[in-house]
Structure 1
């Protein structure tokens, strides 16, 4: 049964732009109290201030989800701000392009640390707060790249997104007894800042590969 999101506590990681910003804004529009995070402190606070200017309940916190100490600090601060957590959206992700033959170990580790380990660290650290909510909700932003298809230059990204789904399936089983659900969404290419940074040839090729011949867009309900 659908219930109102008004005054629910929501955390969205990686939400200073792109899909994460869209997720955060939609929750806030529905009346949730939202915390948004990114590594760049100035950027995340600017985005949060813009949303507050629209009358939305949003706080921005600088966080690196790949660092356990940062994640632990984030959860402590969120508890002080909201008193708890109802919904965790693990959206933080990076996608630097590199062909397999030239991919460095450091770049592999960096992508897996943010996209896969970051998911694990955030969910684990949030468990006490989600259990207290008695119905905690966890939503992971995975991708079609990795679990469903592949794309040249993103072998490390695809591996990280497939890893998220493996994590999701077992975490969902373990946490069901606590009333916590764990699900994932698998977006295709959405027109966001990151996609627009790609060259025009890549953008056109992606659009041509879609049966409807058009890309997804980030839209707000108000």
Structure 2
């Protein structure tokens, strides 16, 4: 068996949201290194231009298109731009997420609730649906949703965020069950504590980190590259018989 071909994304087109930094950017870099043509997306075009430029300097094929996934009207343009640039979409990674609050759930406003659900659930639903006509044409289509261990068991201070990530896991399974006949695999990754700017409120808090470390089998925060490596497995032929799966990468937190 040629393992290099099993994990190759040569000739594939991947669209990744929330990809100008953190987990999304690491996924983009790993996919590009595996041979994919990659579209990175986030809200700010200047940040995308900078990060896409860094990857192109390494010889990778990467483009950046700005899109606020919380605005449903912007999603069709993102899909159209990707297809216009590269002709198709083989891989979709719904990574963009929002969590504007940290604290007791009863202090979460309806405005914050709506923002969290729009970005974390509604956007993946709609973007995945919009990509369907292109994904179904692919010989090895894969959708990867970045959920959270909070979607498996609610995390303190992250109530509605946890609710949204639980809904994303369910959405993953719904799409996986319905789209199997179309040859589209849909899986979810549930990261634990990953040292990114998004989770900074956690890993910079000594009290919280002390509590988390007591529950970890691997006594450290994870890296965005470790999530990217798992995403590569789910995007490649290595996981060709895997769909509807929910994969934790959390240092043993949920054992």
Query: TM-score, normalized by length of structure 1?
Result: 0.93
Candidates 104, 108, 130, aligned match of 1:125: 130
CA distance in 2, matches of 1:152, 1:5: 38
User: Counterparts of 1:193 and 1:164 in 2: how far apart (Å)?
Assistant: 22
User: What RMSD, in angstroms, separates the aligned Cα atoms of the two structures?
Assistant: 1.8
The 1-side partners of 2:83 and 2:128 are apart by 15
Q: CA deviation at 1:68?
A: 2.2
- For residues 14 and 93 of structure 1, what CA distance do their matches in structure 2 show? 7
The alpha-carbon deviation at position 193 of structure 1 amounts to 2.2
**Any conservation in 2 of the 1:87–1:138 contact (CA below 8 Å)?**
yes
Per-residue deviation, 1:92? 0.7
Q: 2:15·2:38 contact (CA, 8 Å) conserved in 1? A: yes
Structure 1 unmatched runs, 5+: none
- Verify the 8 A CA contact 1:135 1:178 in the aligned structure 2: no
Which shifted more, 62-71 or 155-164?
62-71
For residue 197 of structure 1, report the CA deviation from its aligned partner: 4.7
Q: Do the aligned partners of 1:65 and 1:121 also contact (CA within 8 Å) in 2? A: no
Is the contact between residue 7 and residue 32 of structure 1 (CA under 8 Å) also seen in structure 2?
yes
Task: Please list every run of at least 4 consecutive aligned residues from structure 1 whose deviation after the TM superposition is greater than 4 angstroms.
Answer: none
Shift of 1:208: 3.4
Question: How many Å separate the matches in 1 of 2:23 and 2:214?
Answer: 22
- Residues 1-27 of structure 1 show CA distances to partners (whole Å, capped at 9, x for unaligned) of 926311210011111111111111100
8 A Cα contact 2:27 2:225, kept in partner: no
Name the structure 1 match of 2:216.
210
Partner residue of 1:112 out of 113, 117, 120: 117
TM-score w.r.t. the length of structure 2 is 0.81
2:16 alignment counterpart: 12
Distance, in Å, in 2 between the alignment partners of 1:146 and 1:2 is 30
- Does 1:150 pair with 2:154? yes
